[in-house]
Amino acid sequence: MSTSLGRCASSLASIEEAFEVPWTVATALTDYPAARERRGSKGVRADRYAAEARILPALGAFELTGLTTKRIRDWHHDLAEAPKLRRTASGVETRRLAAVDATDPEAVRARRATANRVLTVLKAALNHAFQKGKTNSDEAWRQVKPYREADAAKIRYLTAAECRRLLEACEGAFRDLVRGALATGYRYGELGRIRVSDFDAQARTVAIAKSKQAKPRHIALSDEGAAFFAVLITERPRTALIFCRTDGEAWGASHQQRPLIRSLGAGRP
């Protein structure tokens, strides 16, 4: 009896497999983010935006078994040469295009870096589908390589005069955030996490906990920087965030982009 049941189960599985709808790139890009959310992964929302704006229009309808290295490589190349996408008020990237100067090496590098990041999103989703047995081979995308040396942005330090001009162009809570960045060298995400208790007025340091990009560390402040932080934390509880938006909420992903663009525009001669 058990042998007969085993044969029946095997037959049913074969029938289900035979009638299973083939997975497309769009299916993979729906399934993988959902799996990441179940695991509590970060950055899922941004990857969804990237997929919706930059992958699905060109590749979404293709079945995984029909993908070729040439098709993915051509898409990757086109993406590196495509105009930048601007964001709407809701933060979603749309087809509002901003031209890129192809004669500017830094602009070309930045576009290639974006193309590489989106390629990573695509490959991760396709690899997830491959691991689930939704396609028999990963060779088509495994052969597509990212652009070399695209992520190494040109390092340039602001002069004292440029720092003053930048601060003069900023307003309110965003001005405080920019001044904090100039005083500490912290990344945007790190600035948004530091609390009153992280500032040591006696030692004139600001501590940052371990993050995805860096180890825990203490930054020594100048006299001017220490005085600035002392004013910011006046009469505030130790658990409070040092830098908040005008509405009192924390600085989150992309919240800095619009005030930064406004400030840069205001600071132009």
Residue 240: CB atoms within 10 Å: 13
Helix (H, G, I), strand (E, B) or coil at 170: coil
pLDDT number for residue 16? 42
**Each residue of 64-92: pLDDT tens digit?**
999 999 999 999 999 999 887 765 555 44
* Cα–Cα distance measured from residue 169 to residue 266, given in angstroms and rounded to the nearest whole number: 6
pLDDT tens, residue by residue, 142-162: 999 999 988 776 677 889 998
User: Which residues in the chain are classed under CATH 1.10.443.10?
Assistant: 160-266
Q: Which CATH architecture describes the domain 16-142?
A: Orthogonal Bundle (1.10)
Domain with CATH 1.10.150.130 in the chain: 16-142
Q: In residues, how long is the chain?
A: 269
Separation CA 256–CA 67 (nearest Å) = 38
The pTM of the full predicted model, rounded to 2 decimals, is: 0.59
Architecture of the CATH domain 160-266: Orthogonal Bundle (1.10)
pLDDT at 226: 96
pLDDT of res. 263: 80
Task: Please report how many Cα atoms fall inside a 13 Å half-sphere around the Cα of residue 155, on the Cβ side.
Answer: 1
Q: Please tell me the chain's helix, strand, coil percentages from 3-state DSSP, rounded to the nearest 5.
A: 55, 10, 35
Nearest to 135 by CA among 35, 37, 38, 68: 68
